[in-house]
Structure 1
């Protein structure tokens, strides 16, 4: 019985990870389509730039969350090392992607 319980738990964990990734991609696609009228197509992975944005967004969220347990995150940010350097790079990717959308919308409406 013990083996059966552990195998069920392992199966549930392995099944949950792809589902979480699927829900994240679907949420990102939906939010951008509703808010910006832009289809990112992250689910079918046809837009490489959007996939890079989504990965940077997810990683930036995780790194920001881990600031709560890292006492030296401000020092790392000051010296731009470790996770703070990675976070800064991810934020640059996010900003560039969003600013590109904004520039295209301004050009479209002017």
Structure 2
């Protein structure tokens, strides 16, 4: 497993109930600020295997990014079950719900 992938999995697994992080925020914390799309791929391919709280990850606008209706609603319901208010359009108030991990940011990969 690549170091960025391992760090990404670790960061996502630490997002507490009732909080969210953005794809870009996770990428930056894992050491590669421009790798938000890689975070998407990691979530898609490894969420089930590692039991990741995939529903706690949103886009940079604080919105549910899933396009298919079933996935969108599943994420919405999962967040609401954790008392996260999901506004119309699937938007989450990042000021209120964004998680800021206290772990130091990793060095950018060469």
TM-score of the aligned structures, taking structure 2 as reference length: 0.27
Which of the pair is proportionally richer in strand?
2
Using CA pairs below 8 Å that are at least 6 residues apart, which structure has the higher relative contact order? Answer: 2
- Which structure has the bigger radius of gyration? 1
TM-score (norm 1): 0.27
Q: Which has the higher helix share?
A: 1
